[in-house]
């Protein structure tokens, strides 16, 4: 997983259907290059698959599902190949 793709949420509630069976596992706060706050909610399931939802002023982004380790760090392509 070199880069996790994110997509802007455009009001389609079906975008959240992949979250069925997921639980909130982490919340983080960062700043973008313009010093605007971004809140990221990480949802994981029992199979160590995660989906991020990032909320910023007037913008919501949803990541594609990605594999994570116990500590919620993304599994790299090299680790997945083993």
Q: What is the pTM for the complete model shown?
A: 0.74
Q: What is the pLDDT of residues 4-32, one digit of tens each?
A: 777 777 777 777 777 778 899 999 999 98
Tell me how many degrees the CA angle 55-60-62 measures, rounded to the nearest 5.
Answer: 100
C-alpha distance across the termini of the chain, in Å: 13
Q: What is the pLDDT of residues 25-58, one digit of tens each?
A: 999 999 988 888 999 999 999 888 899 999 988 8
Strands (E) in the chain, as ranges, are 6-8, 23-31, 37-44, 49-56, 59-63, 66-67
């Amino acid at each position: 997983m070199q880069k996790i793709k994110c997509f802007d949420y455009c009001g389609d509630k079906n975008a959240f259907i992949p979250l069925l069976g997921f639980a909130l596992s982490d919340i983080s706060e960062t700043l973008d290059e313009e010093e605007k706050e971004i809140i990221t909610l990480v949802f994981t399931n029992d199979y160590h698959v995660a989906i991020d939802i990032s909320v910023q002023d007037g913008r919501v982004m949803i990541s594609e599902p990605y594999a994570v380790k116990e500590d919620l760090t993304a599994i790299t392509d090299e680790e997945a190949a083993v």
